[in-house]
Amino acid sequence: MTRLLLALAGLMGAAGVALAAASAHGADASRLASASAMLLFHATAILAGVALLARGLLHGGIGLVAAFGFVIGAALFAGDLTLRQYAGHSLFPFAAPTGGTVMIASWLAVTLAAVAARK
């Protein structure tokens, strides 16, 4: 599972940099800048989460749920904003707020995983 998370974090980081470049060169591309930031921040959070899981500083199950929540939430949020920018419509109604809510819940899960860790 952790290798999958590492690979997903790498893809999120690459997509975040690509969206940052697109936002820097496009007119009225503030959506892309927000999408980029969410991908980059949460890719880093996944990498940190995997490292903390390996050291036993997060509860394994809860920590994995949080990390995968970061992937799902950031993908929904960034995917929706990117689709709105390029296609003119959303992924599905309330996709970005749903992604944001999943990311918030994932950060709360990190908190719980830290408190529930055995060490």
Count of residues for the chain?
A: 119
Instruction: Give the pair of three-digit tokens for residue 33.
Output: 């800048």
- Stretch 8-12: mean pLDDT, rounded? 98
Binned at pLDDT 50, 70 and 90, residue 118 comes out as confident
Q: Give residues with Cβ within 8 angstroms of 75, minimum separation 6.
A: 12, 99
pLDDT at 4 over 90: yes
Quick one: DSSP state of residue 93? T
- Stretch 86-98: mean pLDDT, rounded? 96
Q: Which domain holds residue 85?
A: 2-116
Question: Domain count of the chain?
Answer: 1
Quick one: DSSP state of residue 1? -
> Please, is 46 exposed, middle or buried when counting C-beta atoms within 10 Å of its C-beta (0-12, 13-18, 19+)?
buried
- What is the predicted pLDDT for the residue at 26? 83
Mean pLDDT of the chain: 96
Return d(Cα 85, Cα 106) in angstroms, integer.
26
Write out pLDDT tens, residues 29-86: 889 999 999 999 999 999 999 999 999 999 999 999 999 999 999 999 999 999 999 9
Query: Within 10 Å of residue 89's Cβ, how many Cβ atoms?
Result: 9
- What is the predicted pLDDT for the residue at 112? 98
- What is the predicted pLDDT for the residue at 27? 78
- What is the predicted pLDDT for the residue at 119? 65
For the entire predicted model, the pTM comes to 0.94
Return d(Cα 85, Cα 19) in angstroms, integer.
11
Quick one: DSSP state of residue 56? T
